[in-house]
């Protein structure tokens, strides 16, 4: 049983560490990006609404994202746990997630926050070599992330759920720190 949120900036290693947690604990990793892509591809009602927003260059609304998350968390493979990646992104989404998990009787156990300083993140993201990843774009993405996430960090800290983990070192060193953070969960 593992019911956690994995929080971290772009380039912090969430995807890599999520994969290791999925392998060890046998619970699904749930990413809002994957949910959106699947819903759009399958042309579900929420997917069509999301596509309309994206085609208009708008952010997909909380209602749509939360609706997709509700559908996904109602699936049987999440009964024994889940790893949420990229959700929640705001305090409002965190509050809605709390309500949803209370309704499902699956309260969140903790929020693992992978902490990596900006210079290291810029370096990692530049090394990925994605076409849209120039230094200015990366710094803007990180600034937006910091702005959105600070209230979220405070929200989970106040609830005693936040587990900060240093996200530097080898993949295995970071994973060992995550396991230490999860030891008392």
* Residue of 37, 130, 159, 179 with catalytic role: 130
- Domain range list for the chain: 2-176
* Residue of 37, 128, 159, 179 with catalytic role: 128
Please tell me the predicted confidence (pLDDT) of residue 185: 86
Packing angle of the helix pair 45-55, 32-41 (nearest 10 deg)? 100
CB 87 within 8 A of CB 93: yes
Determine the length of the chain. 185
Q: Is 130 designated active site?
A: yes
Q: Is 139 designated active site?
A: no
* Residue of 89, 106, 115, 139 with catalytic role: 89
pLDDT digits (tens, 9 = 90+) for 54-73: 888 777 888 899 999 999 99
Distances (CA, A) of 77 to 21, 33, 60, 185: 15, 19, 26, 20
Of 74, 75, 131, the residue nearest 104 (C-alpha): 74
pTM beyond cutoff 0.85: yes
CB 156 within 8 A of CB 94: yes
pLDDT digits (tens, 9 = 90+) for 122-151: 999 988 877 666 888 889 889 888 888 889
Domain 2-176, CATH number (from 2.60.40.10, 2.40.50.100, 1.10.260.40, 3.40.50.300): 3.40.50.300
Q: 3-class DSSP state for residue 111?
A: strand
Please tell me the predicted confidence (pLDDT) of residue 150: 85
Q: Is 128 designated active site?
A: yes
Q: Is 89 designated active site?
A: yes
Q: Is 37 designated active site?
A: no
* Residue of 3, 49, 124, 141 with catalytic role: 141
Q: Which pLDDT band, with edges at 50, 70 and 90, does 4 fall under?
A: very high
The rounded distance, in Å, linking the Cα atoms of 111 and 84 is 9
pLDDT digits (tens, 9 = 90+) for 86-110: 899 889 999 999 999 999 999 999 9
């Amino acid at each position: 049983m593992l019911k956690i949120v994995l929080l971290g900036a772009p380039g912090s290693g969430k995807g890599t560490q999520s994969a290791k947690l999925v392998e060890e604990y046998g619970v699904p990793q749930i990413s809002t990006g994957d949910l959106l892509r699947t819903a759009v591809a399958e042309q579900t009602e929420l997917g069509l609404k999301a596509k309309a927003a994206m085609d208009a260059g708008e952010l997909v609304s909380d209602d749509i994202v939360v609706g997709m998350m509700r559908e996904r968390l109602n699936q049987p493979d999440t009964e024994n746990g889940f790893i949420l990646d990229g959700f929640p992104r705001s305090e409002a989404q965190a509050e809605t997630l709390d309500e949803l998990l209370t309704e499902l009787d699956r309260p969140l156990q903790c929020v693992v926050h992978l902490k990596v300083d900006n210079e290291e993140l810029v370096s990692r993201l530049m090394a990925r070599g994605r076409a849209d990843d120039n230094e200015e774009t990366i710094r803007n993405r990180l600034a937006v992330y910091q702005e959105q996430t600070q209230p979220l960090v405070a929200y989970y800290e106040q609830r005693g759920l936040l587990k900060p983990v240093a996200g530097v070192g080898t993949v295995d060193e970071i994973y060992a720190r995550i396991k230490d953070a999860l030891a008392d969960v």
